Structure 1
Amino acid sequence: MHRPPTAEAEVAEELAAVRPGLVPRYAQELRGARAAVLSRLWRALAHEPLPWITGRERGRDALVLRLRDGRRLSGPPADPYATAAYVTVVHLDGTPYDDPAALATALAVPHGDALAAELAHSVASLALSRADQPAPSGAHPNEWPAEDWQWEQRVVDGHPFHPNCRARPGFSVAEQLAYGPEHRPSVELGLLPVAREECLVSGVWPEELRDGRRLLVPVHPWQAAHVLKRPREERALTAHPLMSLRTLALPGGPHVKTALTARLTSSVRDISVGSVAASAALSEFGQVLAGRTDGLLGITRTPAAIAAGSPDLAALWRESPRACAGPGEHVLPVAALAATELPHSPGWLAAFTRLALTAGLRLLELGVALEAHGQNLLVVLSGSGEPLRLVYRDLADIRVSPARLARHGIPVPDLPARNLTDDPVALRRKLFGSLVAGALAGAAGSGPALGAALEPAVRDLPRTPDVLSLRQDPVPTKALTLMRLSPGTPGDQWTELPNPLVLEPRASGQ
């Protein structure tokens, strides 16, 4: 096998210095981490419009990709909705590769070396994340976490379909252990005082974060050390990191989204001044939308947001999704469903799928496409585990159709231009790409399971143009690997996946 050991060896060396007891488990987890990342990469190679792939030959037992330079890359048939690590090796002109970084290097495509470095980091970080997990305690409702942030700590593998699922460049091993939610730390957020007149504030900044004429801005310790170059603040908030790492839960209280100018998975995670300015309007708009769902969907509020001169020093003060759950109910991100036994029941998955599609399509008909992936979309469960309703958080990347809102008598909020579009393709991409190809696919775990869950739900939905598209068209999804290989192309790029409702899926080759 061809395997560059650099990233894996570097993490092992750092780990030996800070947590030597984890080194044996880390070494044991590397093989599975390579397969997990390779499976995600193989999905991209099989379904994304990569310009150096000129053909795809899909057989019952194998998939063969023809490369522009005449080489052939072969591997198992690719289920675009599979979450299991089912690809352990692929062959490039007969040479086997079990390591995604080595494969990316061997492909020798434009920007491939940068991608290979990220894949190597993703493998090493994923192995580290898996190595630091406690023994399973069971998934029965009586053993479920009491705190919302404890659910988020159970999401160990990161994005279910992105090859860079655990890439955290710029984070040392010690920093991953100290700040990564899957490592279950408590994090001390510094409180940086800034003169009131230097701040853009949306909403009402909390009284406990005021110091006379100065406002206290929560600062992530990684941001303070690497970006702001500030010493540790004496005043701090103890918080627990959520799935996004830069958003943290205060015990028994709200969530705080901090600026973290690092590339996590694909994007640099700052907080734009525009999103701070729009947060109050979005929060109010969210409550209008929630009122139109007949109780199917709650949307968390953002009571306050602040930017102190730049995206590098900003924060959002958010309501916890727990505010949308009642006594005895559980609320957890859809991405955390894999930590329970629930998705393995076809009946449960069908009920959850019906709930999610009904709510998402109702808002789409009104004129709002949610980015309802497994991190933004949460489900409220009864004490026995039945899906009751949904919760949505983080409205910053929704798409809003002024024309559709007007048809339903809903005023158009004052939002940035990037949030507004009447293009039905753009609206469907936003919802279907995140909900169907993201949250629902991640919960189902395979194309056949996703199709079985979708079929009864879609069958009973009204025949709107959006539903007809969902029934018969390929499913849009972001071309995540193409985007990483196209650093000069701004914005999202898209591809299409075979529709799991179609018995003879349309081929997705060039």
Structure 2
Amino acid sequence: MPRPLTAEAEVADELSVVRPDLAARYAAELPAARAAVLTRLWRALAHEPLPWVESRTPSGEGVTLRLRDGRRLHGPAPDPYATAAYVTAVRLDDVAQDRPARLMTDLAVPHGADLAAELDHSVASLALSRAGQPPHPEEWPGSDWEWEQRVVDGHPYHPNCRSRPGFSVAEQLAHAPEHRPLVGLGLVPVPAETCLVTGAWPEQLRDGRRVLIPVHPWQAAHVLKRPCEERLTGHPLMSLRTLALDGGVHVKTALSARLTSSVRDISVPSVAASMTLSAFAAQLAARTDGLLHITRTLGAVTDGSPDLAAVLRESPQEYGGPGERVLPVAALATTELPDSAEWLGEFARLALAVGLRLLELGVALEAHGQNLLVVLSATGAPVRLVYRDLADIRVSPARLARHGIPVPELPARILTDDVTTLRRKLFGSLVAGALAGTAGSGAALRTALETAVRDLPRTPDLAALCEEPLPTKALTLMRLSPGTVGDLWTELPNPLL
């Protein structure tokens, strides 16, 4: 029987039909895309608590993993904070492995076949994402969505950084931000009496007694399975399902597809709590002396199903002054920064001061490179932060009470007084995520953190950050544990120790 097509070959075949001008560039990008995904996978193999890895031993200039079945896997000494692709091959016993999907297949671990398929798709989509990129202009972008489009490689540490199962090549080119499309959204009319609407849903998204819910075209075609006349246009942002509309408003649409790791939705409880959570977050941000702003939720709607819902938010650009730029932290790696080592130290000090202040008050932000934005002065200095998307923060009622802050009515899933959970949420996203991804290596991250922590208040949270291993989500273990609910974690070597 003929060997099944790999995702790399499938994308090549589709590309030859829909964009033949990109075919040669796509093929040329594949080796680097394999190395980029393999580097992320090797980070997971070297550091996550995978049950079939019995030991990890420094060996020569690298590390050897002893597997439960007696085989050995050898690769370079891992830098868990590196963003450059430095792993071009590893050795499983005596066999060199340079393709992440093939390595995962040959490891033959539980649920590995599903992950192998996702890794295969991640490589192919990453090569496709890189294939159509023009040279970056020297000047800074003038709009928020242009900054978002610069983030081509996706998550800096997840092996599924560009996995988009269910999206054809044509759909990726038409909907993904790095391909710079203008996306047409449908509007589905729903009787107002059957909807949950919070906030001020605009008149232009109403039709008499019906509410018009913006729908992503992929969702309309694959989930709702109904035609939707395209009546809104927007530029897709890093999350793909969130778009910048004319007039500066951002709309978060329901998109029931697995992007990177999870199938995200807009639940009924999140719509119900959206305005309360937005007002509460703004109240907390006011205690940071102007160093943090939260993008306000303007309105939210659902027909009672996570498949048909939408949230309207302010653009983070609302918080930039004359001559300033507001950009997601993930986009920092795409631009030249003045005196990068000194700049990174200043940025780390700003980010940690804000994050630790809110944590002390009782709120742990999920401050990764997509949710956290930085305001740069005309000279490029980091001056303020902006945070968007409050869906995954954690709130401690006990800490709020200590500071005399009333606890609003919030979804139970975001409430916790567990110190480990709160610190994992902030440190895993901000330090092991946003700051590490910007630094690009363990050495650069250490220098930045040493600069940043020097003048910060010596709280128990700061002591934990300085003295304990650094928590981060075990992203690959989570993909290999389909029956597990919630996040799984691992610990990385602390750059400060």
Per the shorter chain, which TM-score range?
Answer: over 0.9
AA at the equivalent of 1:204: A
Q: After superposition, where does 1:429-440 map in structure 2 within 5 Å?
A: 429-440=424-435
Q: How high is the sequence identity, in percent, across the aligned residues?
A: 75
The residue number in structure 2 matching 1:505 is none
> Quick one: distance in 2 between partners of 1:164 and 1:225?
24
Asked if the contact 1:4/1:101 (under 8 Å) is kept, the reply is no
> Quick one: distance in 1 between partners of 2:338 and 2:369?
13
Asked if the contact 2:252/2:311 (under 8 Å) is kept, the reply is yes
Q: After superposition, where does 1:247-262 map in structure 2 within 5 Å?
A: 247-262=242-257
Give the paired residue count: 495
The yes-or-no answer on 1:397 pairing with 2:413 is no
Q: After superposition, where does 1:85-164 map in structure 2 within 5 Å?
A: 85-138=85-138, 143-164=139-160
| 1:53-107 deviation digits (Å, cap 9, x = unpaired) | 0000024611100000000000000001000000000000010000000000000
The residue number in structure 2 matching 1:50 is 50
| 1:151-189 deviation digits (Å, cap 9, x = unpaired) | 000000000000000000000000000000000000001
Asked if the contact 2:338/2:380 (under 8 Å) is kept, the reply is no
Counterpart of 1:208 (choices 204, 207, 213) is: 204
Moved over 4 A (4+): none
Say which SS state the counterpart of residue 303 (structure 1) adopts: strand
Asked if the contact 1:379/1:387 (under 8 Å) is kept, the reply is yes
Offset at residue 236 of structure 1 (A) = 1.1
| 1:240-297 deviation digits (Å, cap 9, x = unpaired) | 0000000000123200000000000010022111111110111101110110100110
> Quick one: distance in 1 between partners of 2:268 and 2:9?
40
> Quick one: distance in 1 between partners of 2:202 and 2:64?
58
The residue number in structure 1 matching 2:182 is 186
> Quick one: distance in 2 between partners of 1:191 and 1:445?
41
60 and 452 in structure 1: CA distance in 2 versus 1, 3 angstrom threshold: farther
The residue number in structure 2 matching 1:385 is 380
AA at the equivalent of 2:122: S
Say which SS state the counterpart of residue 257 (structure 2) adopts: strand
Asked if the contact 1:343/1:444 (under 8 Å) is kept, the reply is no
The residue number in structure 1 matching 2:20 is 20
> Quick one: distance in 1 between partners of 2:406 and 2:112?
46
Aligned CA-pair RMSD: 1.1
The residue number in structure 2 matching 1:226 is 222
The yes-or-no answer on 1:376 pairing with 2:371 is yes
> Quick one: distance in 1 between partners of 2:60 and 2:297?
50
Asked if the contact 1:372/1:439 (under 8 Å) is kept, the reply is yes
Asked if the contact 2:244/2:251 (under 8 Å) is kept, the reply is yes
Offset at residue 316 of structure 1 (A) = 0.1
The residue number in structure 2 matching 1:508 is none
Offset at residue 309 of structure 1 (A) = 2.3
60 and 463 in structure 1: CA distance in 2 versus 1, 3 angstrom threshold: farther
| 1:121-176 deviation digits (Å, cap 9, x = unpaired) | 000000000001002322xxxx1111100000000000000000000000000000
> Quick one: distance in 2 between partners of 1:81 and 1:273?
37
* Most deviating of 266-275 and 424-433: 266-275
Offset at residue 412 of structure 1 (A) = 0.7
4 and 160 in structure 1: CA distance in 2 versus 1, 3 angstrom threshold: farther
> Quick one: distance in 2 between partners of 1:191 and 1:232?
6
Say which SS state the counterpart of residue 96 (structure 1) adopts: strand
- What 5-or-longer segments of structure 1 have no aligned partner? 503-510
The yes-or-no answer on 1:267 pairing with 2:259 is no
> Quick one: distance in 1 between partners of 2:393 and 2:228?
35
The yes-or-no answer on 1:457 pairing with 2:452 is yes
Offset at residue 358 of structure 1 (A) = 0.3
> TM-score if structure 1 supplies the norm length?
0.96
> Quick one: distance in 2 between partners of 1:60 and 1:399?
43
The residue number in structure 2 matching 1:506 is none
Asked if the contact 1:204/1:303 (under 8 Å) is kept, the reply is yes
> Quick one: distance in 2 between partners of 1:130 and 1:166?
11
Asked if the contact 1:151/1:333 (under 8 Å) is kept, the reply is yes
> Quick one: distance in 2 between partners of 1:232 and 1:214?
15
Asked if the contact 1:272/1:311 (under 8 Å) is kept, the reply is yes
> Quick one: distance in 1 between partners of 2:186 and 2:306?
17
> Quick one: distance in 2 between partners of 1:19 and 1:240?
21
Asked if the contact 1:402/1:422 (under 8 Å) is kept, the reply is yes
The yes-or-no answer on 1:358 pairing with 2:358 is no
AA at the equivalent of 1:288: Q
Asked if the contact 2:399/2:417 (under 8 Å) is kept, the reply is yes
Say which SS state the counterpart of residue 346 (structure 1) adopts: helix
> Quick one: distance in 2 between partners of 1:127 and 1:289?
42
> TM-score if structure 2 supplies the norm length?
0.98
* Most deviating of 249-258 and 68-77: 249-258
Asked if the contact 2:187/2:228 (under 8 Å) is kept, the reply is no
The residue number in structure 1 matching 2:476 is 481
- What 5-or-longer segments of structure 2 have no aligned partner? none
Offset at residue 4 of structure 1 (A) = 8.4
Say which SS state the counterpart of residue 450 (structure 1) adopts: helix
Say which SS state the counterpart of residue 114 (structure 1) adopts: helix
The residue number in structure 2 matching 1:313 is 308
AA at the equivalent of 2:152: V
* Most deviating of 179-188 and 60-69: 60-69
Offset at residue 458 of structure 1 (A) = 1.0
| 1:178-230 deviation digits (Å, cap 9, x = unpaired) | 00000000000111111001111111211111110001000000000000011
> Quick one: distance in 1 between partners of 2:20 and 2:392?
41
